Amino acid sequence: KNEVEQSPQNLTAQEGEFITINCSYSVGISALHWLQQHPGGGIVSLFMLSSGKKKHGRLIATINIQEKHSSLHITASHPRDSAVYICAGDFGNEKLTFGTGTRLTIIP
């Protein structure tokens, strides 16, 4: 069964802190997506990973194929980073399976 699990469910941190959100998945994944959703807003694709590491500004995403695990890191967090972060697995069948999301709140 294609499954994606995400943790933590909620995360509150002070501005400037280093943030880590974790995602684990079942076998057979062809790509792992990290998405961002602001309250009442649309979904923005942050990263698509099949191996290794990607960086965009203060955001870093890593994936370990052997461990079936991915992490999203935010360096020097800022209140505007407050959003729901969602990981989603592509199991090669053209439909994403989503984690339940991590609600991140950065306090000034």
Partner 1 sequence: NAGVMQNPRHLVRRRGQEARLRCSPMKGHSHVYWYRQLPEEGLKFMVYLQKENIIDESGMPKERFSAEFPKEGPSILRIQQVVRGDSAAYFCASSPSLGQSSGNTIYFGEGSWLTVV
Q: Which of 44, 25, 26 is nearest to 36 (CA)?
A: 44
Give CA–CA dist 1/99, Å, rounded.
14
The window from 10-18, 39-47, 53-61, 62-70 that contacts partner 1 (CB under 8 A) reads 39-47
The window from 18-26, 51-59, 63-71, 99-107 that contacts partner 1 (CB under 8 A) reads 99-107
41 in contact with partner 1 (CB under 8 A): yes
Cβ-contact 58, 73 below 8 angstroms: no
Binding residue for partner 1, selected from 19, 61, 86, 106, defined by CB under 8 A: 86
88 in contact with partner 1 (CB under 8 A): yes
Nearest-approach distance from CB 86 to partner 1, in angstroms? 7
Q: Kindly state the tokens that stand for 61.
A: 């995403």
Of 33 and 77, nearer to partner 1 (C-beta) is 33
Bridge-based pairing state of the strands 19-25 and 96-98: unpaired
Cβ-contact 36, 56 below 8 angstroms: no
Q: Which positions touch partner 1 (CB under 8 A)? A: 30-31, 33, 35, 40-45, 48, 50, 86, 88, 90, 92-101
